[in-house]
Amino acid sequence: MGLKIACIGAGYVGGPTMAMIALKCPEIEVVVVDINEARIAAWNTDKLPIYEPGLLEVVQTARGRNLFFSTDVNKHVGEADIVFVSVNTPTKTRGVGAGKAADLTYWEGAARVIASVSTKSKIIVEKSTVPVKTADAIEKVLRRNCTDPNVQFEILSNPEFLAEGTAIEDLTMPDRVLIGGKDTESGRAAIATLASVYEHWVPKDRILCTNLWSAELSKLTANAMLAQRISSVNSISALCEATGADVQQVSRAIGTDSRIGSKFLNASVGFGGSCFQKDILNLVYICETVGLAEVANYWQQVILMNDYQKQRFVERVISAMFNTIKQKKIAVYGFAFKKDTGDTRETPAIDVCRGLMADGANLCVYDPQVEASQIYQDLGTEKFEWDHPSPRSRPIAKSAIDIAMDPVSAANGAHGICIMTEWDEFKHYDYEALYESMVKPAFIFDGRNILDHAKLREIGFIVYALGKPL
């Protein structure tokens, strides 16, 4: 065996990235560790803790050979030459910077563990998305908490760019691998060691090396710019509805300009996922702390537009249904924040469902991957916030939510269907049969623009699609 790798954090990033490294580098031992026992236990079965197309096959090939999942954090971190840190870095909910700054509690905890169990020098890899300059802080924690003078830590930033639902594809053929490190002899050596891991399958010209701060900031910037594209096209979807233009035609027309490019121009009910909002808030907070108010406001607007889009969707449903949805059954198709994942973190469906329930609707949610308990938890008794950053809360009745195991029972007796996630199966349902089972007039609100609207209108549905003429 050659190098030993440990990864702290067996989540959406740690699990798939380490499985890919293990698959492509059979001579490297890779151990993913986590304090969450249930999660580690699930990684050791064929019912993995996350749903990701193609992941099980990769895990099955490498698991037990050179890929291991363990709760013995101290042992495996202690033995490793390279430690990836892939813990969660959520938005702070309390104290200074609450609601914006990144909460580095888990990161710092991981660093303290590394320092306390290290008896040999290690490369520490920031895989989590962190504020720029985090490596500086982490270095202090590592150096001041490690008592062995012979142990050296070299910190690298190696942010992850995979998207959920396509993680295996993204990891197999990444647009780039980014490695930031110090321009010192030991820094350059560490960069070369980490690059040699990726070079097992990633072409050398796709491995970009930068300084630490550029790598850290590039990750926040990439997510901010991706989210900005969605907010931009979503803002135009509102204008399309007001003017008779069609946002899909506009996206196609502008996307053919090679300077703009065609990807990430799908208007939607809003972007979700665990990272876009959190990372932009993080960026906004950093700008504020260094006195760049204009820059902070610029990026904050991306989030405000996303909140507006979700709110606009709810208001459109209510106004279309004669300004009252009280006690009307509405089927919600899709709850995950995007297709091909069971992840509901920051899904736009949460805000939309809460908005509809606040107006008295009875919801029946169907999602092919999300567990009912997760939906109940997400829509539970918590209050919902519209007017970010000064929240307005409305209480909701928990009894107003039902979870269906199939799309037919969700639509049965409903006044309307709201498409929240772009699951492929939604395109292929028997909408004639669904229409028959619904209260008339039957509405469809396509929050993802994935259905054949002309055909639905022929069946008899009243169709509202995002950024499209009625």
Residue 314, beta-bridge partner list: none
Neighbouring residues of 468: CB distance < 8 A, sequence distance ≥ 6: 240, 241, 246, 247, 248, 449, 453
What residue 354 binds from ligand UGA, ligand NAD, none (CB within 5 to 8 A, per partner kind)?
A: none
Cis-peptide, bond into residue 441, ω within 30° of zero: yes
20: contact with ligand UGA by CB under 6 A: no
Is residue 227 part of the contact set for ligand NAD (CB under 6 A)?
no
Residue range at the interface with ligand NAD (CB under 6 A); choices 106-114, 285-293, 313-321, 404-412: 106-114
**Is 467 marked as a binding-site residue?**
no
Contact status: 197 vs ligand NAD (CB under 6 A):
no
Sign of the Cα torsion 338, 342, 345, 348 reads positive
Q: Does 160 bind ligand UGA (CB under 6 A)?
A: yes
Task: Given the residues 275, 287, 353, 364, select the one marked as catalytic.
Answer: 275
Per rule CB under 6 A, is residue 275 in the interface with ligand UGA?
A: yes
Q: Which of 52, 103, 154, 164 binds ligand NAD (CB under 6 A)?
A: 164
Among positions 29-68, residues that touch ligand NAD (CB under 6 A) are 33-36, 39
Q: Is 347 annotated as a binding residue?
A: no
- 47 annotated binding-site participant: no
Q: Is 252 marked as a binding-site residue? A: no
Active site (annotated) includes residue 275: yes
Residue type, 437: S
Task: Choose one: 81-89, 245-253, 287-295, 435-443; the region binding ligand NAD (CB under 6 A).
Answer: 81-89
Determine the Cα–Cα distance for residues 166 and 171; give it in Å rounded to an integer: 9
Residues 5-24 that bind ligand NAD (CB under 6 A): 8-14
230 vs 465, beta carbon nearer ligand UGA? 230
* Binding flag, residue 335, ligand UGA (CB under 6 A): no
Q: Is 90 annotated as a binding residue?
A: yes
Question: Judging by DSSP bridges, how do beta strands 153-157 and 122-126 pair with one another?
Answer: parallel
Binding site for ligand NAD (CB under 6 A): 8-14, 33-36, 39, 73, 86-89, 106, 109-110, 113, 128-129, 160, 162, 164, 274-275
